[in-house]
Amino acid sequence: MQFRDLKRQYNILKEPINKAVTEVMSSGAFIMGNKVEELEQSLAEYVGVKHCVSCANGTDSLYLALRALNIGEDDIVFVPDFTFFATAEAVSRVGAQPVFVDVDPNTFNISPEKLEEEISLWEETGDGCQDLKAIITVDLFGQPADYIKIQEIAKRHGLVVIEDAAQGFGSRIGEQKACSFGTIGCTSFFPAKPLGCYGDGGALFTNDDSLANTCRSLRQHGKGASKYSNEKIGLNSRLDAIQAAILQVKLSVFDQEIVAVNHIAELYSKLLDDSLITIPLVQEGFHSSWAQYTIILPDEINREDLQTKLQEKEIPTQIYYPTPLHLLPVYHKYATWYKCPNSLSLSQHVLSLPIHPYMTEEEIYFVAETINNIIRTNG
Ligand SMILES: *Cc1c(COP(=O)(O)O)cnc(C)c1O
């Protein structure tokens, strides 16, 4: 069994994907161009925002968003403590300071209450030189962050919301889709993400014309009206036409995949013995795109042993994430500032199970029953 079986999806979409890739190869246009513009239009429509600006990867999309919003040195950006490193890395890369906020132990996402506390603390005790600028919310494991509360907090404190939907593309709250909740939404098309290409890719989403134009300029060396009238220091962060063509094919079945993956998650939640482990909680009215299906183990269960026993049955598992951001070596100078007990505890107790839209019911039964058996006999 594979953790995320991308070959199964390819086998089903082989014909249209091969055709789309061959078309690009015969066209001789490999970077940007029509295919990329068409994809940007399709993605903007899908998300329900005015602009989509594609780029080379999800990490760059966060960097470009921060640059477009003029966030840099002496600025402070609030980020959840429990996420992939890239969320904070982008903040550090523009020279701003990430401030780590504890997460909700049930949803894994940034806690609105802890966010409010952390903002107040910085407003009261900050050194006055630093500007509180933005919040990067993460739609971790596919579930949107609590935007109803977060947007209210952001507004009250004059902060901008940047949505890191690298794992949440395709998710929604009610009918509103991920990537539309912030002033800028960012996503990744890394192969294992909900909508993945066959290499690196990413995109930004916004309703703001001027921000979209700035992102378009920055992703192409800060170009001005023409390619050779550079106005800003940007970077080379463009999407390949082949990736755009592949994404266009995958987008045509994406909603079906989201339905399928939700069915799988429901089945897991029904089958797993929740008297021994904690199954993931999706907030009322929220719809996850299930980038990961992550359970929380109690202290009595040794995570490493469980992983080994599952691997013996060829069931791969992953730990997302083993270290809270504030304890990463690169952020050692902040390590003593923070108390993020939920994030720390999650890092020690989470386990992500295989999930993807093309898993069979037999496979889900097998994984769930194997886990139940191991934890019931070992206690
Ligand atoms: C994957 C990921 C990114 C970075 O995306 P890349 O395309 O790999 O650069 C950023 N944030 C989160 C939460 C991610 O999961």
What is the DSSP track for 237-304?
---BHHHHHHHHHHHHHHHHHHHHHHHHHHHHHHHS-TTTSBPPP--TTEE---S-EEEE--TTS-HH
Gyration radius of the chain's alpha carbons? 21
- The H-or-E segment that residue 379 falls in is none
* Ligand 1 center–CA 378 separation, angstroms: 36
Nearest CA to 135 out of 176, 171, 177, 83 is that of 83
Which pTM does this prediction carry? 0.97
* Ligand 1 center–CA 199 separation, angstroms: 13
Tell me the C-alpha distance between 232 and 154, whole Å.
Answer: 29
295-298: long-range contacts (C-beta < 8 A, 24 or more apart)? 295/350, 295/351, 295/352, 295/353, 296/105, 296/346, 296/349, 296/350, 296/351, 297/349, 297/350, 297/351, 298/349
Question: Is 377 in contact with 317 (CB distance < 8 Å)?
Answer: no
Backbone angles phi, psi at 173, to 5 degrees: -115, 120
Backbone angles phi, psi at 138, to 5 degrees: -120, 135
| pLDDT category of residue 336 using cuts at 50, 70 and 90 | confident
Give me 75's structure tokens. Answer: 């600025």
Give the nearest ligand 1 atom to 291 CA. 15
Give the nearest ligand 1 atom to 83 CA. 13
- The H-or-E segment that residue 311 falls in is helix 303-312
* Ligand 1 center–CA 321 separation, angstroms: 13
Any residues with CB less than 8 A from the CB of 124 and at least 6 apart, and which? none
Substitution site in 93, 188, 240, 352 for ligand 1 pocket (most atoms within 8 Å of beta carbon): 188
Residue 143: C-alpha distances to residues 7, 40, 92, 253 (Å): 25, 23, 25, 20
* Ligand 1 center–CA 188 separation, angstroms: 6
* Ligand 1 center–CA 241 separation, angstroms: 21
Give tens-digit pLDDT for 169-209.
999 999 999 999 999 999 999 999 999 999 999 999 999 99
Rounded to whole angstroms, the maximal C-alpha distance in the chain is 69
Give the residue whose CA is nearest to atom 1 of ligand 1: 166
| Amino acid at position 217, single letter | S
| pLDDT category of residue 111 using cuts at 50, 70 and 90 | very high
Give tens-digit pLDDT for 216-267.
999 999 999 998 999 999 999 999 999 999 999 999 999 999 999 999 999 9
Question: Is 103 in contact with 129 (CB distance < 8 Å)?
Answer: no
Residue 335 pLDDT more than 80? no
Give the residue whose CA is nearest to atom 14 of ligand 1: 166
Give the nearest ligand 1 atom to 62 CA. 10
Question: Is 54 in contact with 41 (CB distance < 8 Å)?
Answer: no
Looking at residue 110, its pLDDT comes to: 98
